[in-house]
Amino acid sequence: MSAERVTVKEKVLSANDQLAAETRARLQAEGVFAVNLISSPGSGKTTLLECTVDLMKPSLRLGVMAGDVQTRNDADRLIRHGIPVEAIETGGGCHLDARQVSRALTTFDLSNTDLLFIENVGNLVCPAGFDLGESVKVVLMSVTEGDDKPVKYPAAFKRAAALVLTKTDLVPHLQFSLERVLEYARSVNPDLAFFSTSSYTGDGLAEWTGWLAGQVAALKRS
């Protein structure tokens, strides 16, 4: 990589990080806990969000930014659950950036929001390196992806506060080890919170939403 390319990349990341810091400060001042959801395509982010919204909507004020390369399909699914949703189409970009999130933030009433989900583009590489101003990153992976994902894509897991394992109802039909994926994940990030979930059966969703509610409450107390 040439010196010029390195310099340009550093400037892009520096500008992104500055805007992300401003967004984080604004969210904290408003008492909004923001979760940047990262995963491979097809891990079940939108389905998990639908279940999460239905469980938490009675007690917390929620919002979602739904990022995707093209279409409003995920946003339209989430809107049906009766919460504010803003679609962000990257037009080919493999991740969201702080500029896109800052712009979308203007559509939300932050004084009437407790928990904001940022559904990133399906990709475990690029989104891991871009700060969006979130409170935490949460990485999702489905059991159909294999149990070695944490060591194949360590940056995403290292920078995350929690790992949500999805589609666990399929484990009996796969050669997948829950113990091994947790071992791999903790070898990359010993402090990683871990939730084993199925949006189909509902298993693990109470633990996941309970953790989120605790994070929101802690921010409100700070």
Q: How far apart are CA 171 and CA 175, in angstroms?
A: 7
Average of per-residue pLDDT across 152-170: 97
Q: How far apart are CA 11 and CA 50, in angstroms?
A: 37
Average of per-residue pLDDT across 71-98: 95
So what's the pLDDT on residue 79?
96
Beta carbons of 102 and 23 less than 8 angstroms apart: yes
Is pLDDT above 70 for 6? no
> pLDDT digit string (tens) for 50-61?
999 999 999 999
Please name which of 208, 209, 173 lies closest in space to residue 194, comparing C-alpha atoms: 208
> pLDDT digit string (tens) for 195-209?
999 999 999 999 999
Average of per-residue pLDDT across 5-15: 66
Q: How confident is the model at residue 13 (pLDDT cuts 50, 70, 90)?
A: confident
Q: Any idea which of 2-6, 41-45, 134-138, 151-155 has the lowest mean pLDDT?
A: 2-6
So what's the pLDDT on residue 11?
65
* Chain mean pLDDT for the chain: 94
Domains in the chain (CATH in brackets) are: 3-221 (3.40.50.300)
Average of per-residue pLDDT across 123-130: 93
Q: How far apart are CA 139 and CA 164, in angstroms?
A: 6
Q: What does the chain come to in residues?
A: 222
Largest CA-CA distance found in the chain, in angstroms, rounded: 53
DSSP the chain: --HHHHHHHHHHHHHHHHHHHHHHHHHHHHT-EEEEEE--TTS-HHHHHHHHHHHHTTTS-EEEEEEESS-SHHHHHHHTTTS-EEEEE-TT-SS--HHHHHHHHTTS-GGG-SEEEEE--S-SSGGGG---S-SEEEEEEEGGG-TTHHHHSHHHHHT-SEEEEE-GGGGGGS---HHHHHHHHHHH-TT-EEEE--TTT-TTHHHHHHHHHHHHHHHHH-
So what's the pLDDT on residue 52?
98
pTM for the complete prediction? 0.93
> pLDDT digit string (tens) for 167-206?
999 999 999 999 999 999 999 999 999 999 999 999 999 9
Neighbouring CB atoms inside 10 A of 146's CB total 14
